[in-house]
Structure 1
Amino acid sequence: MDMLTASDIKELNDKIHQESAFIDLLRLETSKAIVGQKYMMDRLLLGLLAQGHILLEGVPGLAKTLAIKTLATS
């Protein structure tokens, strides 16, 4: 088994940072409209990235519809 060197790890970390930059931008854009729902937004993004189905339930007034609309337009 080949051992990873420090430069291999740095290169991998740089690639991960580069490829995930759009997630940070998406979080930034959605946080302008959705405040205090970071956990929900993270789960929505996770579901979308995994190409899965998302069932969003909760009591009225938790910005579920606004979250979906904001994510769709971001």
Structure 2
Amino acid sequence: MKFKYERLNAHPYFWRTVQQQEIDYVENGNGIIAGYEIKWNPNARLKAFSSFKETYNADVRLIHHQNFRDFL
């Protein structure tokens, strides 16, 4: 599994604006940018990060204790 992940050539980042909006984990792999918010509560609301979505043409997914294995 690790070998397969390394072949994706993914680079991890953190994103924050001057207004303190942030994305917990951003991954850029093979030209695709994906954002992830990590929360304990599966019912947590994702804040509107329109500037992130518009700038990078990427969606933000919620990762929580019930679906984190799918993320890994």
Q: TM-score, normalised by structure 2?
A: 0.31
Greater strand percent: which structure?
2
Greater helix percent: which structure?
1
More contact order relative to length (CA 8 Å, sep ≥ 6): 1
